[in-house]
A and B are shown apart, each in its own frame.
Chain A
Amino acid sequence: MTHRLTHLKALEAESIHIFREVAAEFARPVMLYSIGKDSSVMLRLAQKAFHPGRIPFPLLHVDTSFKFREMLEFRDQYTAQIGATLIVHRNESALSDGANPFKLGTQKCCGLLKTRSLLDALTEGGFDAAFGGARREEEKSRAKERVYSFRDTAGQWNPKNQRPELWNLFNGRIDKGESIRVFPLSNWTELDVWHYIHLENIPVVPLYFAKPREMIVRGDTLISTEHEPRLLPGETPQLVMSRMRSLGCTYCTGAVRSDADSVPKIIAELVGMRRSERENRVIDHDQEGSMEMKKREGYF
């Protein structure tokens, strides 16, 4: 028997260590559950970390109300199936004021329904540590993100005030009101995530798999019609064989043309495609360095 871990087993080992460390050292951890593929992998890793016990923290979904119906169905069915505790939070006051991406623009909408809502939910729950599925590979400002990302009492991130992380010795000391965002998938790539989903047979939202979907075709971007976005002159929704590379709100998550209807086909597409997965996230392209600015405000 060879005593060497494959790269996926090495990543799994690192992530499980992080889950256990946080569960042991923090009073009220929570897992931010976005329903996407990274969340699915996080959930499986958490199950493994505490097996045969239950996952010792709740899941928190920040629902903007503009999520895909299939995401919510998957969320409710899957979390019930594995016996996880689910908290759903919406920024009800902003929603009753009619917040939506068409009226506010994507930046303000995201600020209110996602960032604000997330910070409120964390405060209300008294959570001192929140797991997120962000990966360093995803975007430039995340390449320097810590596994334990320190947030001040306003939930904000200061790139100059992050703690050095050596070995796997994480410093979880915080004062009252401060918190830590924890990224157990820091060192995973998109390919690692899909490969792990494949090997472990992890359920994911069907939106990842290609099928004919009603879309607005706007330049290279495909926008779902699910929440009836405003059409530009001359646009008509059409059925496009497509799938989502990442999941967010219907308006801000562009689909890609694809016929990949299985995990191996998705991986084949990924290996051949050479397009960064966040490219179709409208939000990252608002302005140069925009993800870094969102993080400073408290977004992931």
Chain B
Amino acid sequence: MKLRILLADDHEIVRRGLCALLQKREGWEVCGEASDGREAIEMAKRLKPDVVILDIGMPYLNGLDTTRQLLQYDPQFKIIVLTITDADQVIREALDAGARGFVLKSDAARDLVSAVEALQSKRMFFTPRVNDLVLRGFLDKGHAISRNEPPDLPTLTSREREVTQLLAEGKSSKEVASLLNLSTKTVETHRSNIMRKLSLHSIRDLVVYAIKNNIIQIQMPPQPTTTTETTMA
């Protein structure tokens, strides 16, 4: 029987590359491709894939919240998250959310097949740096992954995080309501609860919170090059 994989990334070119990698393996098939977290959830429920691969930085619903929602729906889902960063906080959130694989996008060509194999045989897979962090955290105290623990913040519900992402992406309460099939009034209630819980005063504060907490990722302009000695022959 074929191993069925669902792939979610907002960049089609990345999905093409990942598909090419995965389909080289005999007996593996990419049974669906999603371009955001909401679509991934809908497809996962419908297609019941053996493994779900989720990019973290996706529009509408990021990969971490998609992981949480999928595992809440069915704890049997096997999920690998793909990320461009191996910042401690992102790793910790991915582990907390219940992902069983964590692969850096830059290493995907090398690690993704191994990650899928691991999950297939009921093991976990983490990029080598994450393994180090997990082990260090275990040795240090059993659970703390990082020495730089953020201060305890009030926790948002799953729905509140979803609303936070959509508002931080610049959508109006009315647009959020339509996307989530809620009334505008309900969205506004969520919005004021979020602002109160997090002690925020403006949408600008909310955007900053969303970036700092990996709810949305921003696109940075290229940094000026520091290497000057390279010349053409």
A and B associate in one complex: no
Interface residues of B (CB under 8 A from A): none
